[in-house]
Structure 1
Amino acid sequence: MLKKALVLGVAGALLAVAGTASAVDGPDRTVVRTDAGPVRGKVTDEVRTFEGVPYAAPPTGELRWRSPHPVRPWTGVRDATAPASACPQNDNPEAPGGSTNEDCLYVNVTTPVKPSARPRPVVVWIPGGGFFMGAGHNYDAHRLAARGDAVVVTMNYRLGIFGFFGHDGLPGSGTFGLQDQQAALRWVQRNAAAFGGDAGNVTLAGESAGGMSTCAQLTSPGSAGLFQRAVMQSGSCDFDWPTGGQYPGQRAGSFWVPQRAIRQQGDEIAAKELGCPGGAAALACLRGRPPAELMKQFMAFTSSGTGSGVLPENPATALAAGRFHRVPVLSGNNHDEGRSWLQAFGAIDAAKYHQLVAAMAGDAAAKVEAEYPLSAYASPAHAWGAVTTDRIWSCNQVRSDRALSSKVPTYAYEFSDAHSPLVRVFPGPIKEGAMHGVELPYLFDIRGAHLELAPDQRALADEMVDYWAAFARTGDPNGPGRPHWAPVSGAVSGPSLKPSGQGGIATVDLAAEHHCGMWAGPR
């Protein structure tokens, strides 16, 4: 069963790194001097790429479960032509074979080859993966950089037990992964100019857990001033799930958990599973355990600790109260998010649909079934996919959008291409639809996957890159040659992003389309 997660960072320590980031003088455009030393990347016709650039010291040994520490400067030119290791995680498509390498706090930078008379906007991408998987180098950003005329930075951050562990007396419990994200943003502040970027025009963006992380950083005191815009794709401060909604038997919950609960869980697991009883020596014992041994408890910690210095309160509470950084936001979902989890429920017939709704909604089951009658859907699986999409994904995002739009310009959207090439990798009873994550090939090339876009899909991808890049540049996604995108005002409406073969881009009322009226009550 999965849990939850998120974090913040320390500022002062990273500012102690010696040196000044700058472009290296001379004809060799493969070399850039960061504040810790020069790096050599690769140059193509469109972009320069620099992979595996450290933004913090390896969080190993005594630095395990500590706030990010400064990088040790180097003197020679460091190779930056290949990605660094993914952070520890189990075998998954993002990290085939998994990883136990804790030396993983690196960024990857993609910047246009062509010169620019002014600094470019910077997009900092937080990968998704439920806080237990993901790696920044899997997102090839050459299209967003070249067509969007932006500097794109993708990051790794600590995951699972390495990023969100808690223990009695451990400062930062449940927040180390979020602190890594803030350390990466501080690295951008110090080094953006060396890569042609504008440190005063940074967009923090992410999908799924990356979108939730972005929203958490909107409410974290430690991220103030580190970014000027935010993009949340399929992830928000209000994301949560009801009992049995994502997985059979899973209890209701969210990725935000009181720090004291994470510490209590860590104390119990340390003593019972890892052989490190409480007391002054417990943390030294735990830091001495090899990564492979900790991996046995990896999935027990994927939640972010609230009531902490990083997240003083639940981000959903902070958003509703207006306690968040005042930056423009672009926020949206995919039309059929919940279909990505259908395989966990096996075959779904009418009887199974009734059972699932009853287990999830309890006394409100009849109301849910009246709102989502089987007669309105192609199959009971389609109906259950719609229920979980709306309750867990779309309407939570709408709730966050409403709170944000009361204070800052907020641009809502929905990705609705039912035939993304990424749907081929999803098993389950429904083979097509705009499921969770399938918009990613329209903004990035996904490494390790050969995903061909049809001509009208390629045109949609170009429009999306143009929207996202314009938002990063100005805080407004609009521009010539594409349909107008109005900010949220009253009703939560925005463009439904489809290729021309499926009707093209058109404005929809997102709250009405996803029955958000019936899901609007207190959790």
Structure 2
Amino acid sequence: MRWLAAALVCALIPLAPAVASPSPVVTGAVRGSVSIPAPVVRTSAGAVRGSVHEGYRLFQGIPYAAPPVGALRWTPPRPAAPWSGVRDATRPGPACAQAAGEVPGGSTSEDCLYLNVTAPLDATARRPRPVIVWLHGGGFTSGAASSYDAHRMAVGGDVVVVSVNYRLGALGFLARAGLPGSGTFGLADQQAALRYVRDTIGAFGGDPRNVTLAGQSAGSYAVCAQLASPSAAGLFQRAIMQSGPCTGGPARPFAPYAVAPAVARTAGSELAATVGCAGAADVLGCLRRVPVSRLLAAQGADAHPSYGTALLPRDPAEAVASGRMARVPMLIGANHDEGTIWAAGLMAAGISVTPANWRAVAGGFVPDPARADEVVRSYPVHGTDGGPVFGAVIGDADYACPALRTGSLLAAHRTVWRYEFADPAPPRPTPAPPPFALGATHTTELPYLFDLGGRARDMTEGQHRLADTMIGYWTRFARSGDPNGGGAPHWSRSEVQSLAPGRTGPVRPGGDHHCALWATMP
């Protein structure tokens, strides 16, 4: 398992999704012969001036909490200070501290608790619009709200979309005995953003009583955590979870998961030792003086929230199994080929998979190496197809089957809509050509919902129709808890909806992913 994790660190850096520069700021617009002034919205903290675009208004860089800097490093989020005058909201706030990757050049900013609001241009709708609050992915160590241009979703679905920055890595999830909020600062930030939405989104035309919390990958797992958090109760009325099942754990290292307090505190002690604070009389004071760049160099490739805390009393996997999660409608799913991007990354890092070494590789992946033969029989490697086969193993074990299990457990007591994104040739998620076709791998559903980095991906006519269908499903679910309508193919709660160009409809994917095998693995 250790060599897999080490290879993963090296592999994913060159495969980070390319993010284009933000689109040029437009403070006003002209529709026909009528000039539309830049919109100003008055919030409880002060007025903000956004920008007008074709069919939508955009407000960026709105502070939802005070900067967690200096003595506020590793404290629960505090309210943002009010301001006088009109605050410029035409550019995003800084991304939270992270290494270079999705954010070009990375970031060392701790002043990063900002959100963005995208709303249809018509601010005089008779009824408040549904609100979708988006939590980005990135292993809890990378990502930014500004990467997700949500105007197609806002305009096409007539909803208000809020994207959120939250603290990442060691700054978001450090754990130490006696430290209030230990191991959950990033999750606390998300709750602060949800409280901001509850109190303020009405000024942007959104309905604070109709909020859907949505996310992908680590952002999806954060949705799971918020569903299990008592302090998040009532802050959202629906949930969307994309490629981040609630039942993850350390035996499935390619998917996000939470850790026990002792594990989190051990990681915190190791960080303190690495940056030279372990022997200090005031360890926390020493850590608060360490430069961000040094913390980034010392932290791991992924971060994990801690359960057994006031914010997250129990592991989300246990909360799902026991039914102790918020009783709200949910839309949950995964992509057909989630793991191929990791297999391609491992190959780029020098890991090969051949018929000769496949059993050894499989034995290093499964928790019980004695069961490697079962994996080899279910996923045979022939010739040069080792990479795609290993990708299928990673995707089925860490994503597809856990997502199906999560959906089935939740559906026993809640309204749950399940999907599988299955476009075999979506826009490529990597800046460089991969060593083999990735299929519907991790992240490839995102361009169907967002213009990543403000840039629409090249799509076929059928893919554009699928994007419209998916936006319709997502936003109708946000409006009423039911994705059906709008002339889209019927989606049955009793089956998994396959999302693919020209063949969207029910599918039974469990056997396709060998879920009977993975159900017997730890």
TM-score by length of 1: 0.88
Determine the structure 2 residue equivalent to 1:373: 380
CA distance in 2, matches of 1:313, 1:426: 41
The equivalent position to 1:357 in structure 2, one of 336, 353, 362, is: 362
Correspondences of 1:45-60 after superposition (within 5 Å): 45-60=54-69
1:201 is aligned to 2:210: yes
| Unpaired segments ≥5 residues, structure 2 | 9-35
Q: Distance in 2 between matches of 1:219 and 1:459?
A: 35
Shift of 1:426: 5.8
Aligned partner of residue 144 in structure 1, secondary structure: helix
Q: Is the 8 A contact 1:240 1:392 kept in 2?
A: no
Q: 1:265 to 1:241 in 2, by over 3 A?
A: closer
2:458 and 2:100 map into 1 onto residues whose CA distance is: 25
Give a deviation string over 1:289-333, Cα, whole Å, max 9, x none.
222222222327711111101110111001100000000100011
Inter-partner Cα distance in structure 2 for 1:50 and 1:122 = 15
**Once the 2 structures are TM-superposed, how far is the Cα of residue 387 of structure 1 from its aligned partner?**
1.4
Contact 1:349-1:380 within 8 A present in 2 as well = yes
Which residue is equivalent to 2:23?
none
Q: 1:422 Cα shift?
A: 2.9
The correspondence of residues 293-372 of structure 1 with structure 2, limited to 5 A, is 293-299=294-300, 302-342=303-343, 343-345=345-347, 346-361=351-366, 362-372=369-379
Mapped partners of 1:119, 1:422: distance in 2: 37
Q: Give the match for residue 19 of structure 1.
A: none
Q: Deviations over 1:400-456 (max 9, x none)?
A: 111110111111101111221134536543233001001101000011655211111
Q: CA deviation at 1:73?
A: 0.2
Q: Report if the CA contact (8 A) 1:219-1:323 is conserved.
A: yes
Identity %: 46
* Paired amino acid for 2:109: N
DSSP 3-state at the match of 1:482: coil
Which whole-Å CA distance do the structure 1 matches of 2:311 and 2:259 have between them? Answer: 13
Distance 1:136 1:466, change over 3 A: same
Written as runs of structure 1 = structure 2, the 5 A alignment for 1:149-160 is 149-160=158-169
CA distance in structure 1 between the partners assigned to 2:499 and 2:268 by the alignment: 43
> Match for residue 103 of structure 2?
95
TM (normalized to structure 2)? 0.89
Gaps of 5+ in 1: 4-26, 247-252
Q: Check 1:409–1:64 CA distance in 2 against 1; reply closer, same or farther (3 A cut).
A: same
Deviations 1:193-240 (A, max 9, x none): 000010010000000001100111110111100000000000021123
Cα distance in 2 for partners of 1:357, 1:208 equals: 24
Aligned-pair Cα RMSD in Å: 2.1
Match of 1:269 in 2: 271
After alignment, is 285-294 or 420-429 more displaced? 420-429
Question: What is the CA–CA distance in structure 2 between the aligned matches of 1:53 and 1:341, rounded to whole Å?
Answer: 35
Q: Is this contact kept in 2: 1:306–1:313, CA < 8 A?
A: yes
CA distance in 1, matches of 2:414, 2:400: 20
In the other structure, the counterpart of 2:411 is: 405
Superposed CA deviations along residues 328-373 of structure 1, whole A, max 9, x for unmatched, are 1000111100001012143322123222112223121222222223
Q: Would you say the 8 A contact 2:490–2:505 is kept in 1?
A: no
Distance change in 2, residues 1:310/1:265 (3 Å) = same
**Residue number among 424, 427, 440 corresponding to 2:446 in the alignment:** 440
1:459 matched residue in structure 2: 465
Q: 2:89 aligns with which of 80, 91, 94?
A: 80
Equivalent residue for 1:394? 400
Secondary structure at the aligned position of 2:66 is classed as coil
Counterpart-to-counterpart distance in 2, 1:277 and 1:167: 15
- SS of residue paired to 1:510: coil
The alignment status of 1:227 with 2:236, answered yes or no, reads yes
Alpha carbons 1:319, 1:404 under 8 Å: kept: yes
Within the candidate set 113, 122, 127, 2:121 is matched to: 113
Change (3 A) 1:451 1:241: farther
* Conservation of the 8 A alpha-carbon contact between 2:429 and 2:443: no
Q: Aligned equivalents of 1:518 and 1:218: distance in 2? A: 28
Q: State how far apart, in whole Å, the 2-side matches of 1:386 and 1:378 are.
A: 15
Kindly indicate whether the alpha-carbon contact (under 8 Å) linking 2:199 and 2:208 is maintained by their aligned counterparts in 1.
yes
1:147 counterpart SS class: helix
Counterpart mapping for 1:185-196 below 5 A: 185-196=194-205
Letter in 2 for 1:336: D
> What SS is found at the alignment partner of 1:204?
strand
- Return the letter of the residue paired with 1:315: P
Q: Are 2:520 and 1:521 equivalent residues in the alignment? A: yes
Relative to 1, partners in 2 of residues 1:30 and 1:254: Cα closer, same or farther, differing over 3 Å?
A: closer
Correspondence for 2:19: none
Distance 1:139 1:323 in 2: 31
Runs of 4+ with >6 A deviation = none
Amino acid at match of 2:427: P
**CA distance, structure 2, for counterparts of residue 481 and residue 437 of structure 1:** 26
